[in-house]
Amino acid sequence: MTASTVQIPGYVVGTWDIDASHSTVGFSVRHMMVSKVRGYFREFSGEITTAEDPTQSRVDATINMDSIDTRQEQRDAHIKSADFFDVGNHTVMTFRSTAVKTDGADWTVEGELTLKGITKPVTLGLELNGFGPDAYGGTRAGFSAKTEISRKEFGVDIDMPMDGGGVVVGDKITVELEIEAVLRTA
């Protein structure tokens, strides 16, 4: 399927601002080798541009690293420390798309993720949830995305071995995004 034949019901071309109050930037990581800890970032912003040819669309996003919330203050403070995110020196994480691709109903967004001053390529599996009017006279769009990254590749390489083998915090981080965006008006 070529980009020119992609049909997306209700698709709207334009520039969109991420509505952080109706969006979630979340993650999960293996803990103690037996369960997963989930968390999210409370403060983030971004811009999405949907192009006439959807594969020419782009996204730029910034996440405030100090806004991490795992529902446990002591753990959050440790994650903000130099052991993990080093928030004193690296206040934001950024994502900038480099390509949008489709294979039928399946979409991916390729881009560059920068965390702790280290930039690596990342591919997000993307779901287009829809486009439509909102209750305030505007237009909204919804997207879901998911990827998995290695924390060690981004310099979050603390190892906390357990006595019986394994580590306290796993290397693989699952990132899940639920994004609602508002179309900018002229």
Residues in the chain: 186
Percent over 70 (pLDDT), the chain: 86
User: Residue 150's pLDDT is what?
Assistant: 87
**Cβ(117)–Cβ(155) under 8 Å?**
yes
- Cα separation, 46 vs 50, in Å, equals 13
The structure tokens listed for 108 are 């991916």
The structure tokens listed for 29 are 């990581």
> Which DSSP string corresponds to 50-72?
E-SSGGG-EEEEEEEGGGEE-S-
CB neighbours (10 Å) of residue 75?
A: 16
Q: Would you kindly state where each structural domain of the chain is located, as residue ranges?
A: 3-183
Cα torsion angle, 15, 18, 19, 23, sign = positive
Q: Is the pLDDT of residue 168 over 60?
A: no
User: Residue 36's pLDDT is what?
Assistant: 82
CATH class of 3-183: mainly beta
Percent over 90 (pLDDT), the chain: 67
**Cβ(154)–Cβ(120) under 8 Å?**
yes
Q: Model-level pTM?
A: 0.89
Q: What is the mean pLDDT of residues 12-20?
A: 97
- Cα separation, 186 vs 74, in Å, equals 45
